[in-house]
Amino acid sequence: MKKEAAKIRIEKLKDEINYHRYNYHVLDRETIAPAALDSLKNELFSLENEYPDLITSDSPTQRVAGKPLSKFVKTKHSRPMISLFDAFSESDMRAWQERNENYLKQTWNQEYYCELKLDGLAISLHYESGQLQIAATRGDGVTGENVTANVKTIQSIPLVLRRPTTAELKAAEFSARETKIIFDLLDNGVIEARGEAIMTKKVLRDLNKKYESLGKPLLANARNGVAGSIRQLDSKITAERHLDFYAYDLLLGNYERGEVVATKSQLDSLLRLLGLKVLADNNICKNLEAVFTFFNGVGERREKLAFDIDGIVVKANNLKMWPTLGVVGKAPRYMMAYKFPAEQATTKVNDIVWQVGRTGALTPTAILEPVAVGGATISRSTLHNFDEIQRLDLRLGDTVVIERSGDVIPKVISVLKNLRTGKEKKITPPAACPMCGGQVEQVDDEVAYRCLNKKCFAVSLRQIEHFVSRGAADFDGLGPKLIEQFMAAGLIKDAADIYAIDETKKSDLLSLERFAEKKAENVIAIINAKRELDLARFIYSLGIRHVGEETARTLAVMIAENLHPEKKQAVALSSLISTFQSKSRDDLANMEDIGPVVAESIYSFWHDEKNLELLKKFERNGVKIIIEAFGKNKSVQTKLAGKIFVLTGSLLGLTRDAAKDKIRALGGKTTESVTKNTDYVVAGENSGSKYDKAKELGVTILNEEEFLKIIE
């Protein structure tokens, strides 16, 4: 980006981030998800990196966010509640360890202590002589808000600290001196426990169910739920929210932690002995490799946990290291937040495409500037309906926040209108159906716009299903369910669109439900394997009315006679079209086995503009139509010349397609139904009504062995 443009973008980003920071940290209103805000901050950070002389002291990158709210009484923390540095990859974590090694001038050979990073609200609990006096929020880190009345409603928080027995402290490896200090502080000193107030997923679900039935606005997520509950002026409301609290830190009077407690793991034991709730998942990890294993394991269990987490916190287990390493800027060197990839991000909307569903409803999909979200690159996002576009006031060119959770298709959450340049374009519903060109209307009091052609989706679906079927293009593994899923997601509108699905579209596949890396790769491989199609199969797969496999073959021979290929070669689509178009209805009707009705159907197919467009799309999307060397084939077609075969039941030694090919190669033909003109019925295992019909008409019936002899 040029400097002038960067300057304008930086100013806009700063205002935007500041606006959300104020809402989030001061008013407790989440106007943007933290991960999306991170995304804006990252953009600002890299622009400032590129042009360091554009950095100003008021930039959000230059300070720690947050001012206390005035509606609660302010309270100063005994020691600042600092923040954490974030790491997003193993290499970030290695770089952190390396920085510490450089700082200490020695190799790191110490244990880490890994904890879950709870996504709630940080609270400090100030106990004097073991009695809870003040509970405070973090605020700006130096001064927080006194929320004691509300916090007292959390059942898992002790109002009086539990007094451990000497034996319990001994078992937890506290020395006599340390035990005495702990008892003195409990009797006559100050102990401060810090931790996270949370709302479990179940409580959130139940509350939202209740709010829904009462017609009240729903809570967006557990973090919002807990922050809103703690910031209630009426503590009765907080009590109804059933919050929970997990402790992760302990301040012992004026002592440094390391003077009384040896390790973070031992500190957790003390927290528990004092009656506080501590996460059972926390664990010692010998080195970074063990930390990575812990992180991956937690990632796998994340969905099943009772509460939301956004990563893990990795701490030096040896508490003596904490003051040694100290704090730099806003956060300590001795711990690191190792976060899961962001599930939200910001990106630009480049286009809107409309897809037609089973019921004819038109659904808009936003085509996005590709962006990494939660480990996948996202380039499309569902918008549900036109109302959603209006509600969001979405325009082409807008910067939007998108969210991806689990396997679900990403959603546009909000539009960052302050980032508009004035060049954004309004979005209108399409005038005609993008699938069939039919009329589009918004039906009375319905949200959706619909294609009025009742058969629109079903007809297209059937056509594509026919194209991929066994006798046609034969996409083994691309069944009707997948086809319907691709259509519903707007990935394909016709058979030719299938060939546009290649490596570059992998992220689109990954954004579909039940699609993981392997399945996406598999689908791409299936499609790539069918980029060359035999001419007869191609003609059959087009689904021209009355043109079955045999007629398609007759037409392929006609093309071959015209083109006289010397060897196996690709036929240019233009010569295919011009050959078909050079034939009159009569020419076609004079061909073997083609009557006037079939001729009319073939003729009109090759003169229809829409069909010609589709054919060109096949070529554009990289389909090669192959024709066999003609002269050679013709000379062998004698042994079964003119004989008509019907295959029924399953053959053990060869596939039905191979059997048909063999019959044709010897000059014979296959048809689907048994008539008096049928010469042979080949009856395999489990043959049914065709066998009975053959008996009834006195047609020769061959078993597999007899058939194999004939075609030998």
Residue 191 or 489 having the CB closest to ligand IVH: 191
Per rule CB under 6 A, is residue 115 in the interface with ligand IVH?
yes
d(CA 636, CA 640): 10
d(CA 533, CA 528): 11
- Find all residues with CB under 8 Å of 406, minimum gap 6, and list them: 303
Main-chain phi, psi angles of 377, to 5 degrees: -90, 125
Per rule CB under 6 A, is residue 38 in the interface with ligand IVH?
no
Residue 139 or 189 having the CB closest to ligand IVH: 139
Stretch that binds ligand IVH, among 82-90, 581-589, 638-646, 675-683 (CB under 6 A): 82-90
Stretch that binds ligand IVH, among 114-122, 402-410, 479-487, 516-524 (CB under 6 A): 114-122
With CB under 6 A as the contact rule, the residue among 60, 332, 357, 360 that binds ligand IVH is: 332
d(CA 163, CA 187): 9
8 Å CB contact between 121 and 227:
yes
Cβ-count burial of 41 within 10 angstroms (0-12 exposed, 13-18 middle, 19+ buried)?
middle
- Give min distance, CB of 327 to ligand IVH, in A: 8
Cβ-count burial of 530 within 10 angstroms (0-12 exposed, 13-18 middle, 19+ buried)?
middle
- Give min distance, CB of 322 to ligand IVH, in A: 10
* 411, β-bridge pairs: 382, 403
Residue 16 or 38 having the CB closest to ligand IVH: 38
- Give min distance, CB of 459 to ligand IVH, in A: 54
Q: How many residues does the chain have?
A: 712
> What is the size of the binding site for ligand IVH (CB under 6 A)?
13
Structure tokens at 222: 């557990």
Amino acid at 235: S
Query: Max alpha carbon distance in the chain (Å)?
Result: 110
Residue 226 or 260 having the CB closest to ligand IVH: 226
> Helix axis angle, 573-581 relative to 549-563, nearest 10°?
100
Residue 370 DSSP code? E
Is beta strand 624-627 parallel, antiparallel or unpaired with respect to 532-534? parallel
8 Å CB contact between 165 and 99:
no
> Helix axis angle, 656-665 relative to 704-711, nearest 10°?
40
Residue 119 or 424 having the CB closest to ligand IVH: 119
> Which residues within the stretch 309-328 sit at the binding site for ligand IVH (CB under 6 A)?
313
Residue 132 or 197 having the CB closest to ligand IVH: 197
Helix H or strand E segment including 284: strand 283-285
Structure tokens at 156: 């898992």
Residue 34 or 434 having the CB closest to ligand IVH: 34
Q: Per-residue x/- mask for ligand IVH, residues 140 to 179, rule CB under 6 A?
A: ----------------------------------------
Stretch that binds ligand IVH, among 77-85, 229-237, 539-547, 583-591 (CB under 6 A): 77-85
- Give min distance, CB of 201 to ligand IVH, in A: 16
With CB under 6 A as the contact rule, the residue among 38, 140, 145, 196 that binds ligand IVH is: 196
Per rule CB under 6 A, is residue 122 in the interface with ligand IVH?
yes
- Give min distance, CB of 194 to ligand IVH, in A: 7
Of 352, 365, 356, which Cα lies nearest the Cα of 439? 356
d(CA 622, CA 616): 10
With CB under 6 A as the contact rule, the residue among 84, 276, 298, 389 that binds ligand IVH is: 84
With CB under 6 A as the contact rule, the residue among 118, 186, 491, 510 that binds ligand IVH is: 118
Residue 334 or 691 having the CB closest to ligand IVH: 334
- Give min distance, CB of 158 to ligand IVH, in A: 19
- Give min distance, CB of 216 to ligand IVH, in A: 28
Q: Following DSSP, what letter does each residue of 63-104 receive, concatenated?
A: S------SSS-EEE-SS------EE-SHHHHHHHHHHHHHHH
- Give min distance, CB of 436 to ligand IVH, in A: 53
With CB under 6 A as the contact rule, the residue among 6, 82, 413, 488 that binds ligand IVH is: 82
Cα dihedral 503→508→513→514 (10° resolution): 10
Residue 412 DSSP code? E
- Give min distance, CB of 178 to ligand IVH, in A: 22
Main-chain phi, psi angles of 251, to 5 degrees: -110, 130
Residue 117 or 257 having the CB closest to ligand IVH: 117
Stretch that binds ligand IVH, among 111-119, 289-297, 588-596, 691-699 (CB under 6 A): 111-119
Stretch that binds ligand IVH, among 53-61, 112-120, 541-549, 666-674 (CB under 6 A): 112-120
Per rule CB under 6 A, is residue 223 in the interface with ligand IVH?
no
Is beta strand 335-339 parallel, antiparallel or unpaired with respect to 86-87? parallel
Stretch that binds ligand IVH, among 58-66, 81-89, 229-237, 632-640 (CB under 6 A): 81-89
Residue 330 or 348 having the CB closest to ligand IVH: 330
Per rule CB under 6 A, is residue 337 in the interface with ligand IVH?
yes
Residue 118 or 496 having the CB closest to ligand IVH: 118
**Is residue 363 classed as helix, strand or coil in its secondary structure?**
strand
Residues recognised as catalytic: 117
With CB under 6 A as the contact rule, the residue among 75, 83, 355, 365 that binds ligand IVH is: 83
8 Å CB contact between 398 and 349:
yes
Q: Give the position of tokens 């009077």.
A: 253
- Find all residues with CB under 8 Å of 124, minimum gap 6, and list them: 77, 81, 135, 136, 138, 144, 192, 193, 194
> Which residues within the stretch 471-500 sit at the binding site for ligand IVH (CB under 6 A)?
none
- Give min distance, CB of 249 to ligand IVH, in A: 6
Cβ-closest residue to ligand IVH? 122
Q: Per-residue x/- mask for ligand IVH, residues 232 to 261, rule CB under 6 A?
A: ----------------xx------------
- Could you tell me how many helices (H) and strands (E) the chain has, helices first? 29, 27
- Give min distance, CB of 29 to ligand IVH, in A: 18
8 Å CB contact between 535 and 598:
no
Stretch that binds ligand IVH, among 80-88, 362-370, 495-503, 505-513 (CB under 6 A): 80-88
| Alpha carbon distance, N-terminus to C-terminus of the chain | 72
Residues contributing to the site for ligand IVH (CB under 6 A) = 82-84, 115, 117-118, 122, 196, 248-249, 313, 332, 337
